[in-house]
Structure 1
Amino acid sequence: MLLTSGTASAAPAEPAEAQRYVALGDSYASLGSLTKVYVDPATGCMRSKDNYPARVAEGMKPGTFVDATCAGAVTDGVLSPQLDAVTPETDLVTLTVGGNDIGFADIALRCGLLSVTNPLGTPCQDHYTEGGTDRLAKAIEDTAPKVDRVLAAIADRAPEAKVVVTGYLRILPPDNGCWPLMPISRGDVTYVNSVQDKLNGMIADRARAAGASFVDPSTTGGHDVCQAPSKRWVDGLLPLSNGTPIHPTAAGQAHVAELVRGAAG
């Protein structure tokens, strides 16, 4: 061994690799390529073998990897049964949740149906703000304490774990949209974007309040449902990128995985 003077700085240590990584969340965590979807026989949950948790595990190589994500999950579904996978030995947890609590699927269906008779107007915004109250903003507000409960339960079960919470990938372009490829009325695009921004903002606030890390995959533009199939990070209502409707593509999941690995390292 070569000894150097005390003024020499030691080489930085490599980040410690997770020994037990548990992924929790809904379909924006569980689904990627349609051709790589499988159903967990124990839970009935749909997942893709190239979702972001699988990609994170592939890159970080934890001793144990448990993908407990489940398409359609709400916060209560994360609390039970997904949370059962989190043990005191768990040192990395990822979480993607909240979209189903505000009714992501119902919003897409409702706004799509309303757009048929008014493709240039704001029928979706008019519907959800009828009477002067924005019901989607209220739903996001009501979901905040549910996210708090999930994060508190994770900390209770694995107090030493690094927790990385993700937001949702950007679905629509900044304006105009691409009706009828994605049936959201042109005038509603900015409103739907504002709903997603509020949801991601709420999740970010709750994550930071709980001492968790937050990554926002929606901030990079040019990969929404209106882009060419090869550029999409989210597929449209009519999937063209081997994805499921209005869900992350394989490329989108790869992007989220990169952000998560950066936050977890």
Structure 2
Amino acid sequence: MSRATVLACLVSSSVLALTVAAASPAQAAGVDYVALGDSYSSGVGAPGQSGICLRSNHSYAAQWAARNSPTSFQFLACGGAVTDDVVKTQVPAMNSGADLVSITIGGNDAGFAPTVLTCLTSSDATCTAKVNQGRAYVANTLPGKLDATYAAIRAKAPGARVVVLSYPNIFDTSSVLCEMSTTKRKALNGGAQALDDMIKSRATAAGFVYADVRDNFAGHGVCSSRPYLNGLTIIPPQNSYHPNVNGYTSGYLPALTGAA
């Protein structure tokens, strides 16, 4: 598969679909759990992805359900989702009696995939300019999008504990050898920081629990010796710059467990 094909897959949009997965017996009996969000919640980057939403049982959501056996588990997260998809498709499919809801959202709204594509194929200056464009969106437009999304979740499941998880910094910046320059890696990590700061602000304002995964991923970015994220991936191409199994198990799962 060509590099162009891999990069094209990074910017492809997705259609949302609904699946409901059962959990095994364990300690969260009586809890109805719903996993919302985008590819970082559906499990893109891990093995076993299926369906048009690319859901994997190695995602942090599916792993939490398998370990804790909630009464019900709705796995609604979908690769490629933006805030409007959550509001229009995922929230309406939610169980109104949900006790626990988890979500990652906002990265695609801010142009994650096109920004990575630009940084892969362009100069340091062009990459930085593209990241700054995304940061402007995060500062000026995304807050309203997040507020509307969080309000829709609260309206559908008024009694739920809602855990909003952050995104990790994707790149290790200490390694000399990497698929992107240090300037590009620092710019992208700075953009992720700005995104996470805004998500934290709006989640807190909504009365939700914010779970930061960045400390768990520290030292495990792309180009580190033990990465928790995939770099540019040929097969399957959508795995590029998404958590691997270690990222979901050691990065995301502890954050949800600690916040749930």
TM-score (norm 2): 0.82
1:251 has 2:250 as partner: no
Give CA deviations for 1:118-148 in whole Å, capped at 9, x if unaligned. xxx54411x338xxxx322211121111111
Alignment partner, residue 137 of structure 2: 139
Distance across 1 between alignment mates of 2:97 and 2:234 = 39
Give CA deviations for 1:20-68 in whole Å, capped at 9, x if unaligned. 10000000111245431111xxxx3211121111011112210000100
Give CA deviations for 1:199-244 in whole Å, capped at 9, x if unaligned. 011001111111110111112411101123xx22111013799981
Out of 91, 104, 111, the position equivalent to 1:103 is 111
Offset of residue 151 of structure 1? 0.6
8 A Cα contact 2:165 2:210, kept in partner:
yes
Distance across 1 between alignment mates of 2:197 and 2:72 = 31
Distance across 2 between alignment mates of 1:56 and 1:36 = 16
Distance across 2 between alignment mates of 1:45 and 1:242 = 15
Identity of aligned residues (%): 34
Alignment partner, residue 232 of structure 1: 227
Amino acid at match of 2:127: C
8 A Cα contact 1:233 1:248, kept in partner:
yes
Distance across 2 between alignment mates of 1:212 and 1:94 = 10
Distance across 2 between alignment mates of 1:36 and 1:16 = 25
Alignment partner, residue 8 of structure 1: none
Distance across 1 between alignment mates of 2:236 and 2:222 = 10
Distance across 1 between alignment mates of 2:187 and 2:62 = 33
The aligned length equals 231
Amino acid at match of 1:46: L
Alignment partner, residue 219 of structure 2: 222
Alignment partner, residue 24 of structure 1: 36
Amino acid at match of 1:103: G
Alignment partner, residue 5 of structure 1: none
Distance across 2 between alignment mates of 1:202 and 1:239 = 32
1:198-213 equivalences in 2 (<5 Å): 198-213=194-209
Tell me the SS of whatever aligns to 2:122: helix
Offset of residue 18 of structure 1? 5.0
Distance across 2 between alignment mates of 1:149 and 1:55 = 28
8 A Cα contact 1:18 1:60, kept in partner:
no
Gaps of 5+ in 2: 1-26
Distance across 2 between alignment mates of 1:214 and 1:176 = 30
8 A Cα contact 2:86 2:149, kept in partner:
yes
Amino acid at match of 2:130: Y
Measured at CA, do residues 67 and 16 of structure 1 come closer, stay the same or move farther in structure 2, by a change above 3 Å?
closer
Gaps of 5+ in 1: 1-14, 116-120
8 A Cα contact 2:87 2:149, kept in partner:
yes
1:91 has 2:99 as partner: yes
**C-alpha RMSD over aligned residues:** 2.3
Measured at CA, do residues 18 and 50 of structure 1 come closer, stay the same or move farther in structure 2, by a change above 3 Å?
farther
Offset of residue 94 of structure 1? 0.3
Amino acid at match of 2:138: I
8 A Cα contact 1:233 1:252, kept in partner:
yes
Offset of residue 176 of structure 1? 5.8
Measured at CA, do residues 209 and 199 of structure 1 come closer, stay the same or move farther in structure 2, by a change above 3 Å?
same
Alignment partner, residue 81 of structure 1: 89
Measured at CA, do residues 202 and 18 of structure 1 come closer, stay the same or move farther in structure 2, by a change above 3 Å?
farther
Distance across 1 between alignment mates of 2:112 and 2:238 = 17
Distance across 1 between alignment mates of 2:169 and 2:214 = 4
Alignment partner, residue 124 of structure 1: 127
Distance across 1 between alignment mates of 2:108 and 2:176 = 23
**Greater helix proportion:** 2
Offset of residue 86 of structure 1? 2.1
Measured at CA, do residues 99 and 123 of structure 1 come closer, stay the same or move farther in structure 2, by a change above 3 Å?
same
Measured at CA, do residues 104 and 64 of structure 1 come closer, stay the same or move farther in structure 2, by a change above 3 Å?
same
Larger radius of gyration between Structure 1 and Structure 2: 1
Measured at CA, do residues 235 and 199 of structure 1 come closer, stay the same or move farther in structure 2, by a change above 3 Å?
same
8 A Cα contact 1:170 1:234, kept in partner:
no
TM-score (norm 1): 0.80
